[in-house]
Amino acid sequence: MPLAKVKGTELYFEETGEGFPLVWSHEFAGDCRSWEPQVRYFSRRYRVITYNHRGYPPSAVPEDPSAYSNEILVEDLHHLLRHLGIEQAHVGGLSMGANVALNFGLRHPRMARSLIIAACGAGTVGREHFLAEYGRLADRLEREGIQVALDRFSALPSRRAFRDKDPHGFQEFLAQLREHPPRAKAQILRGVLLRRKTIFELEPQLKTLQVPTLVLVGDQDEPCIEPALFMQRHIPHAGLLTLSRSGHQVNLEEPALFNLHVSEFLSAVENGRWGSRTEPRT
């Protein structure tokens, strides 16, 4: 089992294919298995790396609440790439993982050849409601167990499109979520999701980000639409793709479209054809 020792903990990772590195960072309700459609597609041309964040077995599951923060997850990714001897990579993520990828690009821009930021920014709009709702979810996870998370994510409007389009895939997602340790989920909620900066709060850093960036959002992923527009407006080299009739898990709901557009983006970046939103190409 491949485990990387980083910052006093161990991260489980998988590598598939050869070529320029492409790393995917998973969402709160997922793990490295959430990227299977992308692994199968992109490993034909890239060295694809997926991994489990701390708190997601077989990665280590620290008991100390202070071991979980967005900054720590960003540095976990940084040290994982260093462990693998990777100096630069395309870095992508979904939801919590997209926030990690974005902040990785802000903190280590030379290591990011490009950024793929999908379904990012929950908790930016309607902040007080978000904090209260997910604070209660953390408490219930510790008291009642992982079934609380399954019930919660089954009912979310932003997950409904996936459930309706692909019932089998959605049940597979829930089966994988069922394996996650509930106490660790509660720690991640409190330490990462409830304490990270909103996309609006990142405005000064976003304006200085020179890494080519593709922002993706589903048109039914209401909490992430406004943050996606905000990133497109403030990151100099960002483009925005909205997938119609799609919710939060865009890489699983519409894997063919997701892979196609990401592939075109990567090709444009690698060939020097991804321009700036604010400056005309010369």
pLDDT band at 279 (very low <50, low <70, confident <90, very high): low
Span between the terminal Cα atoms of the chain, in Å? 49
Domain membership flag for residue 56: yes
Q: What per-residue confidence (pLDDT) applies to 275?
A: 78
Q: What is the pLDDT of residues 26-76, one digit of tens each?
A: 999 999 999 999 999 999 999 999 999 999 999 999 999 999 999 999 999
Give me the sheet containing 9-16, strands edge to edge: 3-6, 9-16, 47-51, 21-25, 89-94, 112-118, 213-218, 238-243
Look at residue 282 and tell me whether its pLDDT is greater than 50.
no
Q: What is the mean pLDDT of residues 99-124?
A: 98
Domain membership flag for residue 276: no
- CA 263 to CA 143: how far, in whole Å? 43
User: Which residues lie below 8 Å from residue 249, measured CB to CB, with a gap of 6+?
Assistant: 27, 30, 34, 94, 119, 159, 162, 173
Q: What is the pLDDT of residues 128-162, one digit of tens each?
A: 999 999 999 999 999 999 999 999 999 999 999 99
Total count of domains within the chain: 1
Which CATH number goes with the domain that contains 131? 3.40.50.1820
Q: What per-residue confidence (pLDDT) applies to 278?
A: 52
pLDDT band at 280 (very low <50, low <70, confident <90, very high): very low
What is the pTM assigned to this prediction? 0.96
Q: What per-residue confidence (pLDDT) applies to 241?
A: 98
Rg of the Cα atoms in the chain: 17
Single-letter code of the amino acid located at 243:
L
Domain membership flag for residue 91: yes
Domain membership flag for residue 117: yes
Domain membership flag for residue 113: yes
Q: What is the pLDDT of residues 245-270, one digit of tens each?
A: 999 999 999 999 999 999 999 999 99
Closest residue by Cα to residue 184 from 149, 223, 132: 149
Give Cα 218 to chain centroid, integer Å.
14
Domain membership flag for residue 280: no
Q: What is the pLDDT of residues 81-95, one digit of tens each?
A: 999 999 999 999 999
Preceding amide of 57 cis, omega within 30: no
Could you list the residue range(s) of the whole structural domain that residue 120 is in? 3-270
Look at residue 194 and tell me whether its pLDDT is greater than 90.
yes
User: Which residues lie below 8 Å from residue 210, measured CB to CB, with a gap of 6+?
Assistant: 109, 236, 237
Token pair listed for 126: 């309607």
Domain membership flag for residue 107: yes
- CA 174 to CA 168: how far, in whole Å? 10
Domain membership flag for residue 278: no
- CA 73 to CA 26: how far, in whole Å? 11
Q: What is the pLDDT of residues 199-247, one digit of tens each?
A: 999 999 999 999 999 999 999 999 999 999 999 999 999 999 999 999 9
Q: What per-residue confidence (pLDDT) applies to 7?
A: 81
Q: What per-residue confidence (pLDDT) applies to 281?
A: 41
